[in-house]
């Protein structure tokens, strides 16, 4: 889920029906098909919606009323992308990697989707230069916050994806972090974490950190 201040609306990705739901400030709801399973959502500088499709793997850009702007195919070694944020240069920052994949990392990808400009990560693991399912991003002018799902932590990278520090450790979380959001004015980092027990998601909460 993500929001757009310009159009005063909320977008929700629906993986079961492969569609996007849009809810405006007056409560009016619409939806449109993605024709691929959608996952992470973000809004770019043109106020368009970016939909990351892990299985494709592609980024699909839509206007706020659901018209397709373009589809960006990602480089062949970007497997299972989860979330994409487009920065001011037009380049994309993408996190990717799932259980069994050889590479888990965060990449800066050229605006046409063809080339990897910078990256951080590689073989999955728990060292500071590794990830184990990097699931979600919060991107601001001074850095990139990475939700490292299986390592149960949040890592801060520089704008060029160099390691800066660990912002949230597994000792500060109770369960598995699935989403992150940064309030740039208050410098509060919101981390949504969930409990997984007996093959089911059984509980969840939001934890707030000052960063």
Q: What is the DSSP string of 31-82?
A: EEE-SS----EEE-TTSPEEEEETTTTEEEEE-TTS-EEEEEEPPTT--SEE
167 neighbors 154 (Cβ within 8 angstroms): yes
Instruction: Report strand pairing: 116-122 vs 19-24.
Output: unpaired
What pLDDT does residue 121 have?
98
* Mean pLDDT (whole number) for 8-21: 97
Residue 174 lies inside a defined structural domain of this protein: no
Band of residue 116 on the pLDDT scale cut at 50, 70, 90: very high
Residue 185 lies inside a defined structural domain of this protein: no
102 DSSP 8-state letter? S
* Mean pLDDT (whole number) for 180-209: 94
* Range of the structural domain that residue 160 is part of: 2-167
The Cα-based distances of 69 to 23, 107, 133 in angstroms read 20, 23, 29
What pLDDT does residue 183 have?
94
CATH of the domain at 16: 2.130.10.10
Residue 206 lies inside a defined structural domain of this protein: no
132-187 pLDDT, tens digit per residue, is 999 999 999 889 999 999 999 999 999 999 999 999 999 999 999 999 999 999 99
Residue 128 lies inside a defined structural domain of this protein: yes
Find residue 93's DSSP bridge partners: 85, 108
Residue 184 lies inside a defined structural domain of this protein: no
What pLDDT does residue 197 have?
86
What pLDDT does residue 99 have?
94
Does residue 52 surpass a pLDDT of 90?
Answer: yes
What pLDDT does residue 199 have?
85
* Mean pLDDT (whole number) for 17-32: 96
Band of residue 68 on the pLDDT scale cut at 50, 70, 90: very high
* Mean pLDDT (whole number) for 78-82: 98
Residue 172 lies inside a defined structural domain of this protein: no
Does residue 58 surpass a pLDDT of 90?
Answer: yes
Average pLDDT, the chain: 96
* Mean pLDDT (whole number) for 121-142: 96
32-48 pLDDT, tens digit per residue, is 999 999 999 999 999 99
Instruction: Measure the CA–CA gap between 139 and 149, rounded to whole angstroms.
Output: 17
| CA nearest to 107, candidates 70, 126, 128, 79 | 79
Q: Of all residues in the chain, what percent carry a pLDDT higher than 70?
A: 100
Residue 191 lies inside a defined structural domain of this protein: no
Does residue 198 surpass a pLDDT of 90?
Answer: no
Residue 157 lies inside a defined structural domain of this protein: yes
118 in helix, strand or coil? Answer: strand
202 neighbors 175 (Cβ within 8 angstroms): no
Domain total in the chain:
1
């Amino acid at each position: 889920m993500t929001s757009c201040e310009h159009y005063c609306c909320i977008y929700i990705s629906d993986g079961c029906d492969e569609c996007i739901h849009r809810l405006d400030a007056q409560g009016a709801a619409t939806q449109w098909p993605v024709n691929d399973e959608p996952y992470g959502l973000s809004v770019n500088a043109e106020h368009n919606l970016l939909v990351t499709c892990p299985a494709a793997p592609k980024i699909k850009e839509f206007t706020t009323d659901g018209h397709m702007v373009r589809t960006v195919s990602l480089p062949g070694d970007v497997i299972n992308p989860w979330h994409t944020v487009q920065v001011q240069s037009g380049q994309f920052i993408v996190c990717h990697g799932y259980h069994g994949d050889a590479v888990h990392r965060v990449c800066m990808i050229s605006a046409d989707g063809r080339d990897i400009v910078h990256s951080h990560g590689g073989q999955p693991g728990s060292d500071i230069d590794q990830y184990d399912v990097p699931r979600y991003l919060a991107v601001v002018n001074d850095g990139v916050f990475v939700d490292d799902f299986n390592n149960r932590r949040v890592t801060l990278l520089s704008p060029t994806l160099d390691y800066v520090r660990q912002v949230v450790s597994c000792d500060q979380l109770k369960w598995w972090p699935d989403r992150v959001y940064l309030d740039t004015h208050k410098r509060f980092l919101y981390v949504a974490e969930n409990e997984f027990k007996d093959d089911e998601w059984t509980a969840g909460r939001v934890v707030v950190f000052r960063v």
